Amino acid sequence: MKYRSILNRFIAPALVLTLCGSLLTGCTSLKENGPAAASSELAQSDGAEETASNAGTSFSFESLLKGSSEEDNWQVEEETRGLTGYYYDQINPDQKQVYNQLYTGISGRKAEFVVESREVSYIEKSLNALLNDHPEFFWLDGEAKIYGPEGGGKEKISLTFNIDPAEIDAVQAKIDQEAGTFLTSVSPTATTYQKVRAAYEWIVRTTDYNLDASQDQNIQSVFLNHASVCAGYAKSFKYLLNHMGIPCELVYGEISDSGIAHVWNLVQIDGIETYVDPTWGDPAYGENQQDSAKLDIIYDYLGMTKEEVLRSRHRFTPDYSYPDCADRTYDFYRLLGDFFEGYDPDSLTAHLHASVRNGDSITYLKFGTFEAYSQAMANLFGNNGLIHDPLQVKMRKEGLGSMQYYYSNSDEMMTIKIFW
């Protein structure tokens, strides 16, 4: 009988039970700032000194016990029937059998139990799939050990919990209470999109992005400690949406220019699939930015197509399949009427005037092409820019002799935000 140790996080964005070893930190944060002229959000990205921890590799054979027949007496966990899930559906039938056994043991909060697998590697795939589908198993994100024959068969899995098993019920009650605060605040007549947006806003507003957050790889960090990194944001977002009956999955990958592991979400809104990144919806502010110009939420990452996800430097892991999501129906800017397919100075000026009349503190703009976005950036600002007349109207309306405005822009998402 062989003994194997797995020393990494289950949430790592790959096929292994975190054996690829990347802690999910949430990657670069985007600053929004600039009085009367602002650098692009892409240029403002600062990385927040984030690092990915490569804490180990796949199975490490720490010892070898020969001639033991102990495993002959092991009782294998029964399979939980009727399971399904986004990642469950991407593993083979033998791995699904292991998934079903793992679900039985983990949902029973067992720290040690036995599964039967044709290949040891199936346990890795199955455990990853299970924890990707079920963020409610918040007590698991650490160390696991497997005992058993190298070639497969009965394998004993020993899981290290991140809290005392005796505390799970109490912690679950606290999570339910905090999640319930949000869930009961959502109107029963809200549309599916409104529920998704509300969850996005709630997580961003109640959670501090913190690389040193406790329990940052599971939902305890968001619901109990209100501080996390991308793993906590994405898992908690899925947790809330699933409780409202809205399909939501975790999406694993990395940030292409840094290679830092990252996780975001895939959401289905009334049959239309779209991507959401609540972590990147949480702004990081420049030190000199005035409070009046701060965004509390960045909406660029609510309702993205796959093309937009890739353009914003997210790279999907090749270990799983993810949809193209080309439908723009639930793009935040489109739904608000702030989307411009091309550059039309008259339409833009009218939009700015309408925003002033409405008393908006922020005017949102998004463009369908980079050419249109670039033309808008070149012509909106300055004394002779399109903003001049609407700004004069706002000053007269508010009885001001002078006024300072701010804007931020994202080359990646082709968006502009004006803070009046």
pLDDT of residue 108: 96
Look up the pTM and report it. 0.85
Which of 3.40.50, 3.10.620, 1.10.3470, 3.30.429 would CATH assign to domain 25-53+167-330? 3.10.620
pLDDT of residue 257: 87
pLDDT of residue 25: 54
Helices 192-206 & 230-243 angle (0-180, nearest 10): 140
Closest CA to 12 of 60, 45, 57: 57
Note the pLDDT tens digit of each residue in 187-206. 999 999 999 999 999 999 99
Cβ contact 416:409 at 8 Å:
yes
Evaluate if residue 26 carries a pLDDT over 80: no
Q: What burial letters (b/e) apply to 218-236, b meaning 16+ CB within 10 Å?
A: bbbbbbbbbbbbbbbbbbb
Can you state the percent helix, strand and coil of the chain, rounding each to 5? 35, 20, 45
Residues 6+ apart with CB under 8 A from 296: 204, 205, 283
Ranking 4-13, 40-49, 225-234, 288-297 by mean pLDDT, the lowest is 4-13
Question: Pairing mode, if any, of strands 415-419 and 406-410?
Answer: antiparallel
Over range 299-318, report the average pLDDT: 96
Q: What letter represents residue 276's amino acid?
A: V
Which phi and psi angles does 20 have, rounded to 5°? -75, -20
Q: Could you tell me the two tokens for 336?
A: 């608000």
What does the angle CA 286 – CA 208 – CA 285 come to, to the nearest 5 degrees? 10
pLDDT of residue 110: 96
CA distance 167 to 181: 21
Q: Grade residue 20 by pLDDT with cuts at 50, 70 and 90.
A: very low
Evaluate if residue 18 carries a pLDDT over 80: no
Ranking 43-47, 95-99, 276-280, 323-327 by mean pLDDT, the lowest is 43-47
Q: What letter represents residue 279's amino acid?
A: T
pLDDT of residue 399: 92
Over range 4-13, report the average pLDDT: 28
Closest CA to 411 of 275, 303, 308: 308
